[in-house]
């Protein structure tokens, strides 16, 4: 998928995702606090553009969860020197969904198996448009939200992240040299829950623009 930001086209490369980045969400799932960011990936082909109106409910799950997340677009190649420098690698910010088959995830996790399919399946990453980010801009009080059928369910604030965005970027760059078009789903705040057939999910980006999809 391509994203146009400030007249420049970025082709989505790797989709990095962060788990357990908000205390209240760790508590609601009864997970342990991580000492460093929990990292997993989705293929770039799991992205769903805002122009697509419906998302199919996966047939192998009976408990599809929404996770509303702030998404960072990387704009340049390299490894940041430090956390402050990490800001210079950000080209844009968006809001997206880390759709998760919670029953499949719990089942695999219980057996000690990789839970990749529960997170990385087709159409598991709906995403809105990117707004250009200026390195002098604020990353510490970005607000975003998610609603189901018009009812507010998730309120996000980047100021409540356990690992701030610049730390996440620095951490990822230890293992992967950053590339333009890399995306980072930065973790979900509390309030995750199941989706039903026929639900409409709407997510709102920090700049105030909303995007919605119907669950078919």
Give the interface segment with Zn ion, choosing from 54-62, 81-89, 98-106, 108-116 (CB under 5 A). Answer: 98-106
Continuous H helices in 111-209: 117-120, 165-175
Report, in Å, the least distance between residue 131 CB and Zn ion: 21
What are the backbone dihedrals phi and psi of residue 98, each rounded to the nearest 5 degrees, phi first? -100, 85
Pick out residues in 181-210 that bind Zn ion (CB under 5 A): 188
Q: Which residues of 1-21 are buried (b: 16+ CB within 10 A; e: fewer)?
A: bebebeeeebebebbbbbbbb
Query: What CA–CA distance (Å, rounded) separates 20 from 212?
Result: 25
Nearer to Zn ion, 80 or 146 (CB): 146
Tell whether residue 97 is a contact of Zn ion (CB under 5 A).
no
- Structure tokens that stand for 99 in this block: 């759709």
Facing residues of 54 across strands?
214
State yes or no: residue 98 binds Zn ion (CB under 5 A).
Answer: yes
To Zn ion, the closest distance from the beta carbon of 36 in angstroms equals 16
Nearer to Zn ion among residue 10 and residue 22 (C-beta): 22
CB of 160 to Zn ion, least distance (A): 15
What residues line the site for Zn ion (CB under 5 A)?
67, 98, 188
């Amino acid at each position: 998928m391509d994203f146009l930001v400030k007249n420049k086209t970025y082709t989505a490369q790797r989709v990095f995702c962060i788990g357990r980045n908000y205390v209240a969400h760790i508590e609601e799932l009864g997970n342990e606090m991580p000492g460093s960011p929990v990292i997993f990936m989705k293929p770039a082909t799991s992205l769903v553009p805002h122009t697509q109106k419906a998302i199919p409910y996966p047939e192998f799950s009976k408990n599809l969860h929404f996770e509303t997340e702030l998404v960072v677009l990387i704009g340049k190649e390299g490894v940041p020197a430090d956390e402050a420098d990490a800001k210079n690698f950000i080209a844009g910010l968006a809001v997206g969904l880390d759709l998760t088959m919670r029953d499949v995830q719990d089942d695999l996790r219980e057996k000690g198996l990789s839970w990749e399919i529960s997170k990385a399946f087709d159409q598991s990453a709906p995403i809105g448009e990117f707004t250009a980010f200026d390195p002098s801009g604020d990353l510490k009080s970005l607000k975003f939200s998610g609603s189901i059928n018009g009812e507010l369910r998730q309120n996000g604030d980047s100021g409540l992240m356990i690992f701030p965005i610049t730390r996440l970027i620095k951490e990822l760059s230890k293992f992967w040299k950053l590339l333009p078009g890399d995306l980072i789903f930065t973790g979900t705040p509390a309030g995750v829950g199941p989706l039903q057939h026929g639900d409409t999910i709407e997510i709102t980006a920090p700049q105030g623009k909303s995007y919605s999809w119907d669950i078919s």
